[in-house]
């Protein structure tokens, strides 16, 4: 079974319909549903996406997530220290800054071993690496 992580940017593209990549991510999500992919994200990504997707599509996104379309991984409060370490490592002001959502996905990749990711954030996820040096495969 295929597995992939989903960044906020891919959810925004798929559900807002007004962003570059909308058709691509709508198609990938349909394919994933048909082929029973194991799809995962984190709460920071859900928060970011729900803020960026306008109503009424926002409600559709939240209902889709609520129906279990993808797994939303929780994390313990003490994991925030690991997130802060990742954010510090990958922040190169003023050019680029790793946000909490990205850090949570790098953490999730470490936890699950899944490195395939749906994201429009190609520049950032092309430079992020897991502790063992593996790169992300951007879908």
> If you count DSSP H runs as helices and E runs as strands, how many of each does the chain have, helices first?
7, 5
**Whole-number Å distance between alpha carbons of 96 and 15:** 26
Residue 94 clears pLDDT 70, i.e. is over it: no
**Predicted local confidence at residue 138, as pLDDT:** 97
Residue 108 clears pLDDT 80, i.e. is over it: yes
In the block, residue with structure tokens 């807002």: 16
Give CA separation, 27 vs 30, 34, 41, 54, in Å.
Answer: 5, 11, 18, 20
Residue 129 clears pLDDT 70, i.e. is over it: yes
pTM for the model stands at 0.92
Residue 97 clears pLDDT 90, i.e. is over it: no
Residue 70 clears pLDDT 70, i.e. is over it: yes
Which tens digits make up the pLDDT trace of 7-49? 999 999 999 977 678 899 999 999 999 999 999 999 999 999 9
Residue 37 has a CB neighbour count (10 Å cut-off) of: 17
**What's 3-132's CATH class?**
alpha beta
Q: What is the mean pLDDT of the chain?
A: 93
């Amino acid at each position: 079974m295929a597995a992939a992580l989903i960044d906020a940017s891919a959810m925004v593209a798929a559900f807002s319909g007004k962003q570059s990549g909308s058709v691509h991510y709508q198609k990938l999500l349909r394919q994933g549903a048909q082929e029973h992919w194991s799809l995962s994200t984190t709460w920071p990504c859900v928060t970011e996406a729900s803020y960026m997707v306008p109503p009424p599509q926002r409600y559709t996104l939240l209902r889709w997530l609520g129906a279990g379309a993808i797994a939303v991984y929780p994390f313990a409060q003490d994991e925030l220290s690991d997130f802060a370490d990742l954010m510090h490592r990958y922040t190169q002001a003023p050019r680029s800054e790793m946000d909490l959502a990205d850090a949570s996905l790098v953490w999730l990749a470490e936890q699950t071993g899944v490195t395939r990711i749906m994201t429009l954030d190609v520049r950032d996820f092309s430079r992020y690496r897991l502790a063992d040096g593996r790169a992300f495969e951007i879908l």
